[in-house]
Amino acid sequence: MRLAQVEIKNYRSIQHLALDIEGTYTVLLGANNAGKSNILRAIEMALTPSASFLPSDLCTHCPEADAIEVHLRFDSLTKAECVTWKNYLLPDGGVRLVRFGHRQGSEFETSPIRGWTCRPSEPTLRRGFVAGTRRDQIDEAIKRGATFLSALPTTGRISAKQVQECRDAFIAAHRGTLVMVDEVEEGPLFGQRTIPEGVLPELIFVPAGGDLEQESQHRGASIYGRIVERVLRDLGEEAEHQAELRRVLDAITTARNDTTRGTGAALRRLADQIEAQLPEWDVRVAITAETVDVGKTLAPATRLVLDDGHPSDLARKGHGLQRATVFALIRAWADLIRTAGDGESPGPGTILVVEEPELFLHPHAQRAMARKLTDLAADDRHQVVVCSHSTHFLSLADERYRSIRIVARDGAQQTTIRQCRESLEAIAGDQRKQFNLAQWVNQDRAELFFARLVVLVEGPTEAQCLPFLAEKLGIDTEGATVVDCNGKNNLPLYVRMLNGFGLRYVVVHDEDAPIDTDTPKRRKDMRSSFEQNAKIVAAVDGLGDIEVLTVDFERCFEIPTTGDGKPWSALAHLDKADPIALSRHRSRIERIFLAGT
């Protein structure tokens, strides 16, 4: 099963946010304090039964809110998972889970993980309509319209399980004619206090900070131990041992639930005694033995020793080496999966959540880590969710632009999320332009995804001179990224991409209006370039700003067009220019770098 959507309400900086996840690799980009970590923590809270919300987790932007909600939707279930989740399958074939945190008087309570179910709206088919399992209660329910109960045995003791099975059989047989509604179940998932092993995807969270020593503790609950356990499962090395132990434990559990002898009979007698003490409550009591968690029983006990001149456990090394080793383990995991080939590991897979993986890694190591995470995500058994400030973890190549999610604060300081809904094919128009765009948005230009404002310019002269002019004039360019689009013809292409991601931008381009002093060839070239202006306006379509430079950049800023090395000669001229002459350009530079503010 694959995590397909996360919906969060009233959690920290998030009033309401829906994150759609396509594929198995997702990268969250955004400025510091935009709320990226809050999204990751919400996913962790929703999939960690032992975790609890705190009163301080309530969204501060919505004072009247008194409840937190985190919904997770999963799709792509296998046949075996469809059987496991049959009571939770929604009409679209997916499964939706939810976790609540809410005020209860002076306390703050966290609900167990619950599931959404598709149930009939007919009252007689709802849980609770049948008051109990005594014969008179069954007969009364039938008189009130619960005719499906007529299929129950007319003699002998009736159990709650029989009533439920009878109701489920009726609903399954008449699903085509019943009105079904989606709603959250009242009790915990599967009706059990403890979620069975191997039902939920395993979440492995690698935080950016916190107690790094805890990351490397050599026990099953640590990041190190859980990854080692998962690697062994992926390679099939633990399958034989687990299957053997599971057979033994299942046999023991079955025997302990046999109420005719031994432990099962003793549990039945104890349940009867408890039931006898509760006559006024009219309840049936059952005590059953639960299956032991085989995975935890066989969690590998391993010890990692690093010898850097002083052999010792990982926990005794520096934080940089600790984190580097955890990431080395992740990279080794990806390599082992790739060399082992396709396989099926037990359980619904793993969701690896990594917060700021660039910490403690130099640029080359960041690139290597990014490749390994995408390799890991290429295995259908795993999903990877990353939040990062590094351009090494994003790319437009090979459809990976679909993995990019931009997290930002809106005018009310609430966390919002944007993603490109348009295909790269629709943005670029043909395969050659798709390839060019993917290659042009390299590690340097990819800075635009983190920018407050993107300034699109035609070439290197503008890219060098505009920030230089702003600095000379004392105009703040903090958070602005100037992108050399390698020619005026490419400006519409970049504009459509920025529109797709909802990024704020301003396009700076030459007017290129032909003038009488130009040669015939020059006027012809200028006319061709002038015709591009309308295409730029059409692409922007009111979503960004446009700053047109009269005639061209050089004449607009009074820069001589002679000299070797166009960007260098232009910078040299501006550096020696009279400050008073430069001040005439202040309003234009302010319009460019302060657009939208």
- Two tokens at 190? 């599967």
**pLDDT above 50: residue 242:** yes
Q: What pLDDT is stored for residue 355 in this prediction?
A: 93
Q: What pLDDT is stored for residue 217 in this prediction?
A: 47
Query: Is 539 among the domain residues?
Result: yes
More confident residue, 118 or 240: 118
Question: Do 448 and 562 have their domain in common?
Answer: yes
Q: Which of 457, 459, 461, 458 is nearest to 480 (CA)?
A: 457
Which H or E run includes 468?
helix 460-472
Query: Is 439 among the domain residues?
Result: yes
pLDDT in tens, 175-209: 889 898 889 988 899 888 788 777 899 898 988 86
Query: Is 202 among the domain residues?
Result: no
Query: Is 147 among the domain residues?
Result: yes
Q: What pLDDT is stored for residue 252 in this prediction?
A: 83
Chain center to CA of 491 = 31
Given a contact cutoff of 8 angstroms between Cβ atoms, the answer to whether 31 and 67 are in contact is: no
Provide the residue type at 181 as one letter. Answer: V
Question: Do 498 and 573 have their domain in common?
Answer: yes
- Two tokens at 106? 């002076």
Q: Is the dihedral of CA 115, 121, 125, 126 positive or negative?
A: positive
Q: What is the mean pLDDT of the chain?
A: 84
Overall average pLDDT of the 570-597 stretch = 91
**pLDDT above 60: residue 299:** no
**pLDDT above 80: residue 218:** no
Q: What pLDDT is stored for residue 282 in this prediction?
A: 66
Query: Is 490 among the domain residues?
Result: yes
Comparing 37-46, 300-309, 340-349, 446-455, which segment has the lowest mean pLDDT? 340-349
**pLDDT above 80: residue 69:** yes
Q: Which of 131, 152, 178 is the last residue of a domain?
A: 178
Overall average pLDDT of the 328-340 stretch = 78
Q: What pLDDT is stored for residue 216 in this prediction?
A: 46
User: Per DSSP, what are the bridge partners of residue 417?
Assistant: 407
**pLDDT above 80: residue 436:** no
Q: Is the dihedral of CA 142, 143, 144, 147 positive or negative?
A: positive
Query: Is 448 among the domain residues?
Result: yes
Q: Which of 145, 160, 178 is the last residue of a domain?
A: 178
CA distance 492 to 452: 20
CA distance 293 to 282: 33
**pLDDT above 90: residue 210:** no
Query: Is 252 among the domain residues?
Result: yes
Provide the residue type at 187 as one letter. Answer: G
pLDDT in tens, 541-569: 888 999 999 888 998 999 887 655 688 88
CATH at 450: 3.40.50
Q: What pLDDT is stored for residue 517 in this prediction?
A: 58
**pLDDT above 60: residue 417:** yes
Overall average pLDDT of the 196-223 stretch = 68
Query: Is 33 among the domain residues?
Result: no
**pLDDT above 70: residue 443:** yes
Q: Which alpha helices (DSSP H) does 305-396 contain, by range?
A: 319-340, 363-378
Per-range mean pLDDT, top range of 211-225, 311-325, 415-429, 434-448: 415-429
Please state the domain count of the chain. 3
Question: Do 457 and 542 have their domain in common?
Answer: yes
**pLDDT above 50: residue 524:** yes
Question: Do 268 and 144 have their domain in common?
Answer: no
pLDDT in tens, 4-55: 999 999 999 999 999 999 889 999 998 888 999 999 999 999 999 989 999 8
CA distance 418 to 415: 10
Listed in sequence order, the residues at least 6 apart from 56 whose beta carbon sits closer than 8 Å to its beta carbon are none
DSSP annotation of 58 reads B
Give the pairing type, strands 453-457 and 480-484.
parallel
**Cα–Cα distance list, 365 to 183, 245, 440, 475 (Å):** 47, 41, 22, 36
Q: What pLDDT is stored for residue 476 in this prediction?
A: 92
CA distance 427 to 236: 44
CA distance 117 to 115: 6
Q: Which domain holds residue 278?
A: 241-297
Q: What pLDDT is stored for residue 491 in this prediction?
A: 95
